[in-house]
Structure 1
Amino acid sequence: MQTTANLEFKKPEGTDVVNIEDLNYNADIADTEIVKKASSSQDGRMAKEDKVKFDGISTGANKVEQSSTNGNIKIDGVEKKVYTPPTGTNPYGTTKADVGLGNVTNDAQVKRTEMGAASGVATLDSSGVNAQAPKAHTHTKSQITDFPSSLPANGGNSTTVNSHTANGTPATTEKTDIIKMINEVFQSGTNVKADAISAVNSKGGSLGSDATWDDIIAAINAIARGQGNAVESQVLSGVKFSNSDGQLRTGTMPNKGAITITPSGSDQTIPAGYHNGSGKVSAVTVPVANVLSGTTIAGQTGTMPNRGAVTLTPGTTDQTISNGYHNGSGIVKGDANLKTENIREDVSMFGKIGTLKPYELTAGDSNILFWDSQQYNTTSYTRVKVGKTITTNIKGKIRISFDLRCGGSASLAYEVDKNGSLVTSNSYNSTSWTTETIDVTCSQGDVFEFLIKSYNEDYNAYIKNIKVSTDLVSPLTIA
């Protein structure tokens, strides 16, 4: 048998018998190769996605790749400069504002080695006094340019005003100017008052900026305190609230969010706490065909038939066991006669191998089982069936014989088949009758057929006296 050059399809010769397996083989190869896609190492079909990419490439297009050289790209593998970066200390004119340093001055910073050193920068002690200057020293009047020409009109002196000292450590930011200290304290009170007004208004008040402290106190007393009798376990965890006692409280109720409960064979406790409404009990898929009819699971009723106790009687063919529920009391009937000695030798029946020896045929001439004396003839060049079809009902050996002759100078050919397969064949070229005899092994149910043909369609091929004979094997053992 020849094959094709590329895919090696099988090509039957003119004299070959067409084999379905060869056709299937060719179809399987075609089915595989037709859908095979091209790769870098083999030919094949182009994927539709690749076709879209291919159609998007212009005629004469170049391959452009990234280059490791700054300012370059690669075109068809060749480096090409497309941009020349500027040079210099600050070629792009970057400013400090461009990098987020717009508020930084350009003043020189003091080096730590210059702090408190000779000809360096003075440092201050914890009281804000020059640590390098002598703490006790004197100045002449002429050295003090802003020395007051008279004492304050209120009769105070340079260190007191109405007996209130300006020294020490007052809580104000200002440490030396009494007037500034007073103004600072006043301003602090003003700020506190403004904050109080804002706090009252945030609770539903309507105070103006000119409200007095009396107005503020009255508005505070008018603010409604909490109502109700809620307790911490009834309010979501972390949420602030108050009830009729006006105390600020924090809820402790757990936030369970959305929980999912999967049904099981026993009850499941739903945890205490807040559920946001998105929780669920998982759906149960019940295969109703596997649930006994009349039984309900998760609202779905089973459809499995209840077969109860089924009794099966063995036969010559398999019997289907009906689907459904069987209660365990069903049976397959037994038979006390199912014994090896009651079963033909070598025959398997329900797991038992028979030992009963049957009568057995042996090839011979003493018993003629079949004799067809009719004469058959044909001029056909192809074999044709003649005579009867013979089926053996007992195993053993049989003897088959028949007479042949040619009708002229042409030869004939005969063939004996068993179960559709050749047992023996031969040619004969005499015009005289001759007897052919063959001994054949047979089993119960074997089918025998006889075929003849003529090698010359001008002359007949003849066959007659088709006979089957045998000798019986004795069923006795003589000791």
Structure 2
Amino acid sequence: MAFDKQAPTWSAPGVEPPESKKQEGWQVNDKPPAAWLNWFMSLTAESLKELQQKAAEKSDITTINSEIEGLKQSGVDGKNRLETAIIAKEGTVSKQSQVATFEELDTGIRSIPTGTDTSDATAAAGDLINGKTAYGPNGKITGTIPDRGAGGIVTPGATDQTKAAGRYTTAITIKGVPVPAANVLTGTTIAGTPGTMRNLSAENNHMPGLEKTVWPGDRYFIRPPRGFIDGNTWVTAAEPGLTPGNIRDGVNVGGQIGTLKPNVAGSAQISINIPEWRPIAAGATAYHDIITFPAGTQLAYHGIGQSDIIYIKSFQGWIDVYFELVNNGKIFTIFSRTQVASQILGWSRLSINFMYQFYNYQNYGNTGNSFGNFATDNNPGAVINNAYPTTLRLRVFGTPGSYYPSNYSIWATGPMTWA
């Protein structure tokens, strides 16, 4: 709207009254100075002029009002779009009216989650290296897994080895274990290698050997097949001939006691002729073997008629006479006589039972019989072992203290039979 009146003009600027005068105003009978009036008139003219210059027309006000309404609608639209955006970002807008205020929108903006969404995170402290951090649904997480450094090499041993739990910066190498399959029992697996060694005990509790050999008089060997034997399995070798009846009587072979009686039956003609006057010094000993019986002999018999005889004759000095059996280094005395001088000692129809240590003989020139057990004065407790040969002999000893030199002769004849 245009003004009808032009604003007055007052060019004299005048002087501005003091502040005290401005406060108290004009008083009765005051005569204001011209300079003060000029200041007031000039300032009033300038103010009116400025008011006219800056006053708006009515049409302008309408335009302005329209523009203000547009701005208001634009602000509403902007607020609504901003509210939609906040909600899209998972923020919350709490408004008291249909359109949120800027303060409510500001609060909504601050509720928008910032950074990476960790609501669905599943990591925990035990999933992170010690000292490392991360964020989860409940905030910051600090790791607890120990950092063990380099992994290194593990060499298998006889006992368990434990690598402590934690993070290793390099690979852990478990050394391989070479396992010869042939040395591992079948059905057993060691370090991934299945064994191929036969379980002989499971196959046969009397496993036949591969070969056998004997060290005579020492031991018997059986070579088993290659494989595992649990200590309760026997390794065998077929020996159909190993029976008691094939082993000499009384001999133990592998627990088999023999019952085979050796065929030792035989006979021999005794013929010994030592002439008269065979000298023997005092304290000296002379041995005269009559016959040796083979091993296995149990019974022996000498003489059929009265002429079958074994005798020794002494001359002048003294001699000691012993009729003996010698077996495996042991001596069994059948007859003994000391200080024999100028006598004849003879035996005929002599029988000897080796098993029961019993003898029977008929004295020369004496029709009576004499019986008795073997004397063992020289070897107490000795026992005849018919697994060894046995020798029948005469032992002559020059008796010390004889008044005359000792002499003797021996005569033996007739068949000796044994079995």
Question: Under TM normalisation by the shorter chain, which class is it?
Answer: 0.3 to 0.5
Higher gyration radius (CA): 2
What TM-score do the two structures reach when normalised by structure 2? Answer: 0.37
What TM-score do the two structures reach when normalised by structure 1? Answer: 0.33
User: Which structure features the higher share of strand residues?
Assistant: 2
